[in-house]
Amino acid sequence: MQISTTILMVRPANFGFNAETAENNFYQVPDSRSASEISSLALKEFDGFVAMLRDQGVNVIVEEDTSEPIKPDAVFPNNWFSTHPDGKLILYPMYSPNRRLERRKDLIENLMKRKFKVDEIIDLSFFEEDAQYLEGTGSMVMDHQSKTIFACYSERTLKIPLDGCR
């Protein structure tokens, strides 16, 4: 069974439509509501989800997003890093430049201060220099028990960095 007892969530500071990633993300469409209304709704949904998870006994670590630089997708940290049962933490190469701004050393340091098991950091972000991307568990599914990764190649999921996280 693959169940996490602890999850990290990033409380959004500037959640909203990301024009840069929408260029090639079928699921992103502009919303007619104002940015402040969308932000307010996102915070309400976020806080409600945290409360629901905690009510179910899940240990939720909440990190606040920073207001600058603006990162509309900061609520999805699983795209830029993942943690693993063996103590590895992997940093991923992100396709969109504004998604790369989400990487926060302080967030990783806070996990380690909380005694979260991090024995090794594997930084694959250097692949960005060669236009090789792998957007974490947003672009692949890891079965830790069978040591299998399921992914479909795309501009956000390329073979070379994928091979680097096996």
Backbone φ and ψ for 2, nearest 5 degrees, come out as: -115, 95
| pLDDT score at 3 | 75
Ordered by start, the domain boundaries in the chain are: 6-132
Backbone φ and ψ for 31, nearest 5 degrees, come out as: -115, 140
| pLDDT score at 4 | 80
Q: Which residue has the higher pLDDT, 4 or 1?
A: 4
Q: How confident is the model at residue 93 (pLDDT cuts 50, 70, 90)?
A: very high
Q: For residue range 21-53, list pLDDT tens digits in order.
A: 888 888 888 889 998 999 999 999 999 999 999
pLDDT at 65 over 90: yes
Sequence-distant (≥ 6) Cβ neighbours of residue 4 within 8 angstroms: 58
| pLDDT score at 2 | 66
Task: Write down the H helix ranges in the chain.
Answer: 19-22, 35-55, 97-100, 105-113, 136-139, 159-164
Class assignment of domain 6-132?
alpha beta
Helix (H, G, I), strand (E, B) or coil at 41: helix
pLDDT at 20 over 90: no
How large is the average pLDDT for residues 142-151? 90
| pLDDT score at 59 | 93
How large is the average pLDDT for residues 82-103? 94
Sequence-distant (≥ 6) Cβ neighbours of residue 113 within 8 angstroms: none
